[in-house]
Amino acid sequence: MRLALLTDIHGNREAFEAVLADLAARQTDRIAVLGDVVGYGPDPAWCVDRVMDLARQGALCVQGNHDSAIGTPSISMTAIAKAAIDWTRPQLTAQQTAFLAALPISQVLGDVLLVHASANDPSGWIYVTSERAAMPGFRVSTAQVIFCGHVHVPALFTCDIRGTVRAHQIPVSKPVPLLRSRRWMGVVGSVGQPRDGVAQAGYALFDTASHEVTFHRVAYDCAATAAKVRAAGLPETLALRLLRGS
């Protein structure tokens, strides 16, 4: 099975559409959405509707911190993130809000664990940004492969039989064999708001048969999305992030 991994869409319709179009040209059997469908971006309702459609078609979905914040205003967020969520909340219907609130915090598919943030504390919204931050997830979970998002920067970690965690370089659009002698954690790059200096949508494909993961980037009209951000009156920083990819 070829599993498409999408995360951190963040209300970015143009990026989401570009990724879905790219997936349509590939042999993909199932989609997993790893949270943060909303927040930051100018098209939250459209993105939630599209994820709801995907879920009805069998996609696996988990809840992100921005999704949770729609129904839980007390969640701690930066001032910019809170401003975007406060703007987003009235853009959504009751059905869309209920869908986000009902999303599970994790999903399991065979020997794969899917979460938005860390495997060791999925609802604590911990960023997996280093070998040290990845280690607790390997200790708590027994999954062979863990996929998460939240960071907006792609990353790949291994844990060997001694419990040593190592970070690995990620080649773009080239399959990485996930050797079964180790356990793996893939931090999937963001669809709608990349922060690694590349202003392109990011996602990953995991082939369960060959046990390979491929990280992809897709160009989209980030200037159009930035213009929508400004027209909506959202913080200017959010428009600039899209244009810079950071």
> For residue 75, what pLDDT is reported?
82
The Cα 111–Cα 95 span in angstroms is 32
d(CA 188, CA 5): 7
What distance, in Å, lies between the first and last C-alpha atoms of the chain?
Answer: 32
Write b or e for each residue in 120-150: b if 16 or more Cβ atoms lie within 10 A of its Cβ, otherwise e. bebeebbebeebebbbbbbeebebebbbbbb
Helices (H), the chain: 13-24, 44-56, 65-71, 79-88, 94-102, 131-140, 222-231, 236-244
Whether residue 196 contacts residue 153, with contact meaning beta carbons closer than 8 Å, is answered with yes
In the numeric block, the tokens 């919204």 are attached to 125
> For position 81, what pLDDT does the model report?
95
Other Cβ atoms less than 10 A from the Cβ of 27: the count is: 8
Pull the structure tokens for residue 61.
């979905």
> Encoding tokens for residue 25?
């040209």
Given this model, what pLDDT does residue 73 score?
82
Q: Where are the domains of the chain?
A: 2-244
Q: Which amino acid type is present at position 195?
A: R
* Residues 6 or more apart in contact with residue 1 via CB below 8 angstroms: 29, 30, 207, 208, 209
The CATH code of the domain at 2-244 is: 3.60.21.10
Burial tier of 205 (Cβ tally within 10 Å: 0-12, 13-18, 19+):
buried
Q: Yes or no: say if 200 and 217 are a contact pair by the CB < 8 Å rule.
A: yes
Q: What is the pLDDT of residue 65?
A: 97
Cα–Cα distances (Å) from 181 to 2, 42, 127, 189, in that order, read 21, 44, 26, 25
pLDDT in tens, the chain (246 residues): 999 999 999 999 999 999 999 999 998 999 999 999 999 999 999 999 999 999 999 999 999 999 999 999 878 899 999 999 999 999 999 999 999 999 999 999 999 999 999 999 999 999 999 999 999 999 999 999 999 999 999 999 999 999 999 999 998 899 999 999 999 999 999 999 999 999 999 999 999 999 999 999 999 999 999 999 999 999 999 999 999 999
Give the C-alpha separation, 6 to 34, whole Å.
Answer: 6
